[in-house]
Amino acid sequence: MTTSTLRYALVSALVTLGLIVGTASSGSAATSPTLTAKKTKAAVVFGSGLKAASTEQPCQSGSAACASSKPQLSLAWSSAASTAGCRFRLDVDWGDGKAVQSVKLSGSEQAKVWTVTHNYAGNVAARRAYAIGATATVLADPQARGCSIESAGLTFTLMCTPTQLVSTAWGAKFPGGDSDISHLNDTFRPGVEKFVAAMTKAGITVSPQSTLRSPQRSYLMHYSYKVAKKQITPAQVPAYTPVAGEKAPKVCWVFRSTTGALDNTTAVRAASTLLSSMGVDPSLKTPPALRSRHNTGDAIDMRTTWTASTIKIKTADGKTVTISSGPKDGTNARLMAVGASYGVNHFAPAAVDRNHWSSDGR
Ligand SMILES: [Zn+2]
C-alpha cells in the first residue's frame, strides 16, 4: 500500500540534518513545536516536516533545484502523528550506479523524523546531477491504523567545491613557464643561447617569456584558452590524462548557481582569469598546445623587437645578414631564417603564435 503521491523534499545541508537528527534521536519529537501536525493518520510523508529556513535551498518543493557541494546527502521522512506498529521499507536508488539501498523503518508512538543518508564520491568527475528514486512500501499495519508512506523522486546536483573550481590557484599549483633559458634541454639550449647573443649584439631587445613547461600547465593553458574563447563549453573539457607517475590537476571547469543550474558566464570568466594569470600572450590565435615542445624543453617564447631602420646580425656559420624590412619583431622572415641557422625555428604561420620558437618550429 504505497501512496501514489510524490511529494518532494530534501534535506541537503548537514546543518539542517543536524537539527533533524537532534530532534529525532532525542526521543521527544512529539513535543517539538517545529513539526507540522496536520495529519492525524499514521502517515509518513517525504520531507522533514520542518519549515525550511530562509537560507536553505528550496528543496522542499520538488522544484528539482536541490544542490550542494557536500557529497553527503540525507533524505528525510516524517510523521506528525503516531505510527506505532507500522513497518515500512524504503528502496532508494541514489542514481550513482550503486546498489539500491533498502532501509526498514519502524513506527513510533510519537511524531518522528527518519533520515536516510548517502555518501557520493567527492572527486571532480562525480560532481554532477543525480536522479534519485525512493520507492516506499508498507510492510505491516497490525493495528489497522492506515499506515502509509510516500515514495519520492528528485534530482540532486553535487557541485564542485571552491578548491576544485578553476581559479588562478591552479596555475600556481603547476608552475613552469618561467623565462629561464637554462631550463631548456641540452640539445636545444646552446643554439638558443647563441641566437639570443647574436640578436642582442645586433641591437634587438630580447625578452624570454616562457621556456620549460609541465604538461599539466599545458593542459590548464590549452583548456582555459578554449573555454575563455568559447570554443568549447566548460562541460566539454576532458579530465587530464596522466602518463605513469604524473600528478593530475583535478580541476573543475563547470560552474553552477546555488540551485545547481549551469553558470557558463562565470566559468568563462574564471577560465579567462586563469589564462592571463599564466602569462599567455593575449594575441595568441590558437590554443596553447596540449602537448608541446615546451614540455620537453624544446621551445621558448620570447619577445624580440628593435627600432633601428637597419640591423646586421650574424648567422650560426658566421655570415652577416642585413635586415632593413619589417616587421621589427620575431615574425620577420629574415630574422626567422637567421634563427633557423641556430636550430631555433619560429612557429608557422608566424602570426598565429608570434613569440614561439622551437627545435622544429612546432
Ligand atoms: Zn610557446
Q: Distance from the CA of 164 to the center of ligand 1, in angstroms?
A: 27
Q: Tell me 38's DSSP state.
A: -
Q: Distance from the CA of 299 to the center of ligand 1, in angstroms?
A: 6
Give the pLDDT confidence score for residue 37 in this predicted structure. 43
Q: Distance from the CA of 362 to the center of ligand 1, in angstroms?
A: 9
Instruction: Name the band, by pLDDT with cuts 50, 70 and 90, for residue 5.
Output: very low
- Cell numbers for 278: 599564466
Cα-Cα-Cα-Cα dihedral sign, residues 308, 314, 316, 317: positive
pTM for the whole thing?
0.73
Task: Please list, in sequence order, all residues whose beta carbon lies within 8 angstroms of the beta carbon of residue 184, skipping any fewer than 6 positions away.
Answer: 192, 211, 212, 297, 298, 300
Q: Distance from the CA of 343 to the center of ligand 1, in angstroms?
A: 16
Residues 145-173 as b/e (b if ≥16 CB within 10 A, e otherwise) read: bebbbbbbbbbbbbbbeeebbbbeebbee
Q: Distance from the CA of 213 to the center of ligand 1, in angstroms?
A: 9
Rounded CA gap, 275 and 243, in Å?
24
The answer, yes or no, to whether residue 29 has pLDDT greater than 80, is no
Residues 208-217 as b/e (b if ≥16 CB within 10 A, e otherwise) read: bbbbbbbbbb
Q: Distance from the CA of 300 to the center of ligand 1, in angstroms?
A: 6
Q: Distance from the CA of 354 to the center of ligand 1, in angstroms?
A: 9
Q: Distance from the CA of 23 to the center of ligand 1, in angstroms?
A: 61
Give the pLDDT confidence score for residue 18 in this predicted structure. 31
Name the residues around ion ligand 1, CB cutoff 5 A: 301, 356
Rounded CA gap, 97 and 110, in Å?
36
Q: Distance from the CA of 246 to the center of ligand 1, in angstroms?
A: 22
Q: Distance from the CA of 16 to the center of ligand 1, in angstroms?
A: 51
Q: Distance from the CA of 315 to the center of ligand 1, in angstroms?
A: 23
Q: Distance from the CA of 44 to the center of ligand 1, in angstroms?
A: 64
327-351: pLDDT as tens digits: 999 999 999 999 999 999 999 999 9
The answer, yes or no, to whether residue 53 has pLDDT greater than 60, is no
Per the listing, cell 647574436 goes with 198
For domain 3-158, the question of CATH label 1.10.10 is answered with no
Q: Residue ranges per domain, the chain?
A: 3-158, 168-358
Residues 41-66 as b/e (b if ≥16 CB within 10 A, e otherwise) read: ebbbbbbbbbebeeebbebbebebbb
Instruction: Name the band, by pLDDT with cuts 50, 70 and 90, for residue 17.
Output: very low
Per the listing, cell 513506527 goes with 107
Q: Distance from the CA of 252 to the center of ligand 1, in angstroms?
A: 25
Q: Distance from the CA of 357 to the center of ligand 1, in angstroms?
A: 7
Between the alpha carbon of residue 271 and those of residues 98, 142, 224, 241, 253, the distances in Å are 33, 61, 5, 19, 8
* Percent of all residues in the chain with a pLDDT value above 90, rounded to a whole number: 70
Q: Beta strand pairing status for 148-158 and 66-68? A: parallel
130-169: pLDDT as tens digits: 999 999 999 999 999 999 999 999 899 999 999 999 999 9
Q: Distance from the CA of 207 to the center of ligand 1, in angstroms?
A: 13
Q: Of 27-41, 98-112, 118-132, 271-285, which gets the smallest average pLDDT? A: 27-41
The answer, yes or no, to whether residue 288 has pLDDT greater than 60, is yes
Instruction: Name the band, by pLDDT with cuts 50, 70 and 90, for residue 40.
Output: low
Give the pLDDT confidence score for residue 51 in this predicted structure. 53
Phi/psi at 29 (5° precision): -65, -25
Q: Distance from the CA of 181 to the center of ligand 1, in angstroms?
A: 13
Rounded CA gap, 325 and 360, in Å?
25
Q: Distance from the CA of 358 to the center of ligand 1, in angstroms?
A: 8
Give the pLDDT confidence score for residue 283 in this predicted structure. 80
Q: Distance from the CA of 176 to the center of ligand 1, in angstroms?
A: 12
Q: Distance from the CA of 233 to the center of ligand 1, in angstroms?
A: 24
Q: Distance from the CA of 266 to the center of ligand 1, in angstroms?
A: 28
Instruction: Name the band, by pLDDT with cuts 50, 70 and 90, for residue 61.
Output: very low
H-type alpha helices, the chain: 14-25, 168-173, 189-201, 215-228, 264-277, 333-341
